[in-house]
Amino acid sequence: MPPMKFCPSCAAPVAERIPDGDHLPRAVCTRCGTIHYRNPRLIAGCVPEREGRILICRRAIEPRRGYWTIPAGFMEIGETLQQAAARECHEEALARVEVGSLCAVVHVLHAEQVHVMFRAVLAADGAFGVGAESLETVLCDESDIPWPDIAFASVEFTLRRYLEDRKAGREGLHYRTFA
Amino acid sequence: MPPMKFCPSCAAPVAERIPDGDHLPRAVCTRCGTIHYRNPRLIAGCVPEREGRILICRRAIEPRRGYWTIPAGFMEIGETLQQAAARECHEEALARVEVGSLCAVVHVLHAEQVHVMFRAVLAADGAFGVGAESLETVLCDESDIPWPDIAFASVEFTLRRYLEDRKAGREGLHYRTFA
């Protein structure tokens, strides 16, 4: 998100100050007084599995173009986290999934994001393809996951916990914070 | 959040349009072209327990002033969900807690919010008080919870699932969507 310089309500300049009763500096309009809060944004994603293999996507867009990820993206207004995860899977890999249990919640502080990653199962037809934001997509055996070329630390964290849990026959929920 | 009328980057008017490669209308600046995304915001909260009783707060602020809630509020940038839940507990009830497992994720679509509610245990000294955003706070037996006067549907949902789980000796994760 670009820094706020002008009030989105009235176009006057904003100033950083701590509102009465608050404890953090906020962007406050110097004319209309509106306080504009800035909050972490949600990324929803999933680990889509079919017959033991995992669907991963090579990114066609920045950041990390050319690197591999699981389907994930910004949650939209009006949808649930599970719907967002399924939508991203369809957009990036043209795949329909049934979203399952929550696998990982990753706080990415420098990006001002919370990544919420679910388990998922590919629809019965197993169809997938290459969405507009992907260069290629692959249904990948565990041993073929391109670990050095994974796009984001949150994705590597999620995949490793997912695979550990699968081996152990459990479905845990895992937390991690990246400064 | 008030609707965006002017670009926070350059103060020119914004227009609602679907950017190239996108599928939803966004606020796009008519001068500098910046796309301003709007995303759901995170509320973090917890159910603080001590010796079987639950700490609840009567709200001193709108919305739902005078009604009861568990400690919860907007997640800030730079903190984790667990830290946000603990901070809100300290602000609203002057209580220190150890945050435990995730109890409920509630999508509140009309408010453009995702409520993330944890289990928690009050610190050993059991101290609590009345924070600036509360009219009163009470460590409450299950049988004394003022159900008709609970402030928000997400809080009632969380408390009911929490108590059911406690009775059953489990710590489940529960989802709900309110349109």
What tens digit of pLDDT does each residue of A106-143 get?
999 999 999 999 999 999 999 999 999 999 999 999 99
Task: Provide the pLDDT for residue B1.
Answer: 77
Cβ distance A77 to B21 less than 8 Å, yes or no, reads no
Helix (H, G, I), strand (E, B) or coil at A101: strand
Is A1's pLDDT higher than 80?
no
Mean pLDDT of A24-52: 96
Instruction: Report CA B149 to chain centroid distance, whole Å.
Output: 17
* A110 Cβ under 8 Å from any chain B Cβ: no
Query: Which of B2, B14, B42 is closest, CB to CB, to A39?
Result: B42
Mean pLDDT of B120-131: 95
Cβ distance A6 to B2 less than 8 Å, yes or no, reads no
Bridging pattern class, strands A113-122 and A41-50:
parallel
The secondary structure of chain B in percent helix, strand, coil, rounded to multiples of 5, reads 20, 40, 40
Cβ distance A102 to B173 less than 8 Å, yes or no, reads yes
Cβ distance B9 to A2 less than 8 Å, yes or no, reads yes
* B102 Cβ under 8 Å from any chain A Cβ: yes
Query: Which of A75, A107, A173 is closest, CB to CB, to B39?
Result: A75
Task: Provide the pLDDT for residue A23.
Answer: 87
Helix (H, G, I), strand (E, B) or coil at A121: strand
> Which of A58-85 are b and which e, b meaning 16 or more Cβ less than 10 Å from the residue's Cβ?
bbeeeeeeebbbbbbbebbeebbbbbbb
Distance of alpha carbon A14 from alpha carbon A39, whole angstroms:
17
Cβ distance A5 to B10 less than 8 Å, yes or no, reads yes
* A124 Cβ under 8 Å from any chain B Cβ: no
Per-residue pLDDT of A139-155, as tens digits, reads: 999 999 999 999 999 99
Q: Tell me whether 0.90 is exceeded by the ipTM.
A: yes
